[in-house]
Structure 1
């Protein structure tokens, strides 16, 4: 969401960000875009922290800055005169089930953010550019069968992964893959190692939170249920950044990267 704001050059309007360093290492590019803007909270912000920062608009999502029943919600903020723009992909977490996610969620949120700050033309230009890049990938992939993909976020006892309502599932699809847990009835949640083995992924994507994927890679390679999967036999594994797999401008980069990884013959 911070990167969505940066894409519209909204830093002069921003009082700060929250929930960045508590989970994810900042990249040099992110640091440059952030400039001297403070991180108000390393994890979830409290209502007091937002008020103390002089917040008069909050861009966040469910489980991305807000918890259902927590002290920071659109309702609690509205009581303080603070409007909220809620990340569309996250709405399932609040019990608002919608159709399977598409990039229209990203496009719509970027355009709504542009409307708030009178950057409608800039937002539309961004979205048009993103659409052209995605269309180019689809043209390259035309006629190629999808590759079975397992997206590993975290978890040792049970794998935490993307389900049918995660935008990540659509990103894999647009990159020429098929999420093996596309039937999991959530956006992000736990599965089982037995299911991973039975569904036999041909490729694995590992979410990188900025510390690299070495530990996750070593764990997967040593897991007795995974050693016979096609992905591990072929060592077909790639890192994807957290911001690439959750709604952000980096989604477009992710589609292009995944398509070349899964279908190297399409590399320009």
Structure 2
């Protein structure tokens, strides 16, 4: 673990909603369909038996609902943190690791998947020839993270990231016929958000910059991804909240003009969080920023920053961090 100047706060002692060791009780004899939204499109779903998940957020949602028995496997690009660090590490171990490349049609077909869970342009892609429409034509069901739907062609849907997380859990619960499990999980997550934000004041919000990566330009979070709402709910203000984007590039001049007092480092990839901090401390454009001068860095795990149940853990940790800095 990197040492100072990275300030890590201990994760709150939380109890995740769990299901029985056998997983959620899914009626596999039910061959009927249920109508569930896929972004803004109403789609008929059968109960899946061989789901394929792309990245941790997708798999976490399924595992948190107790659906490991209905997951064939997962695709996890190498930049992602190890699955052994997941609260659902046992579920990851029980299903098949299908590859560390980007999601593609051949992999899904070879896996005989009957449901693919991913995001729009973060898994599904026109350029790579794997879209819900293409999979529909192959008889393979698909489900997209609602958080990624705001610019989905033809069927956009816009929600704040936390509400989108709850919507996904509710919709997946209906698809797999585990509605009660989904309701209990959502209620638990909402209760944790309420507890984490109970003492957050609306005034005097600290300006926060999320640094994902980049040297020539900064890759950061717009208002369509979970870190924007994590920052807001915890009592901060994302300096790029006005950008109607998900993950996007910005010029360093815009970062400097905003004078962030806290920098959130998204921790993933070949470049460690400490390396990212070292860059910001030595890069002339950022070395004089208030957050850099004061060593005011917070490390957000990758799977706390993409849509999934661990968003709430990231919020709890960041809210504690801002409360402790005063």
TM-score bracket, shorter-length normalisation: over 0.9
**Residues paired across the two proteins, number:** 265
Q: Report the CA distance shift for 1:100/1:57 in structure 2 as closer, same or farther (over 3 A).
A: closer
Deviations 1:92-141 (A, max 9, x none): 35346554624110000011111111111011101001111111122121
Deviations 1:61-86 (A, max 9, x none): 11221113432111111111111111
> 2:321 is matched with which residue?
261
2:249 to 169, 190, 201: 190
Higher helix share: 1
> 1:28 is matched with which residue?
84
State the shift of 1:179 in Å: 0.3
State the shift of 1:39 in Å: 2.2
Which structure 1 residue ranges, 5 or more long, are not aligned? none
**Which residues in structure 2 correspond to 1:162-201 (within 5 Å)?**
162-201=221-260
> 2:12 is matched with which residue?
none
> 1:8 is matched with which residue?
65
**Which structure carries more relative contact order (alpha carbon 8 Å, separation 6+)?**
2
The yes-or-no answer on 1:216 pairing with 2:276 is yes
256-265 or 240-249, larger mean C-alpha shift: 256-265
Q: Distance in 2 between matches of 1:265 and 1:139?
A: 17
Contact residue 78 and residue 269 of structure 2 kept, 8 A:
no
> 1:43 is matched with which residue?
101
Contact residue 44 and residue 66 of structure 1 kept, 8 A:
no
231-240 or 164-173, larger mean C-alpha shift: 164-173
> 2:116 is matched with which residue?
58
Q: Distance in 2 between matches of 1:10 and 1:68?
A: 29
Q: Report the CA distance shift for 1:100/1:148 in structure 2 as closer, same or farther (over 3 A).
A: farther
Task: Let me know the Cα RMSD of the aligned residues.
Answer: 1.8
> 1:105 is matched with which residue?
164
State the shift of 1:38 in Å: 1.9
> 1:246 is matched with which residue?
306
- Report SS of the residue matched to 2:197: helix
1:236 to 262, 278, 296: 296
> 1:158 is matched with which residue?
217
Which structure 2 residue ranges, 5 or more long, are not aligned? 1-57
Contact residue 203 and residue 262 of structure 1 kept, 8 A:
no
> 1:125 is matched with which residue?
184
Q: Distance in 1 between matches of 2:268 and 2:91?
A: 18
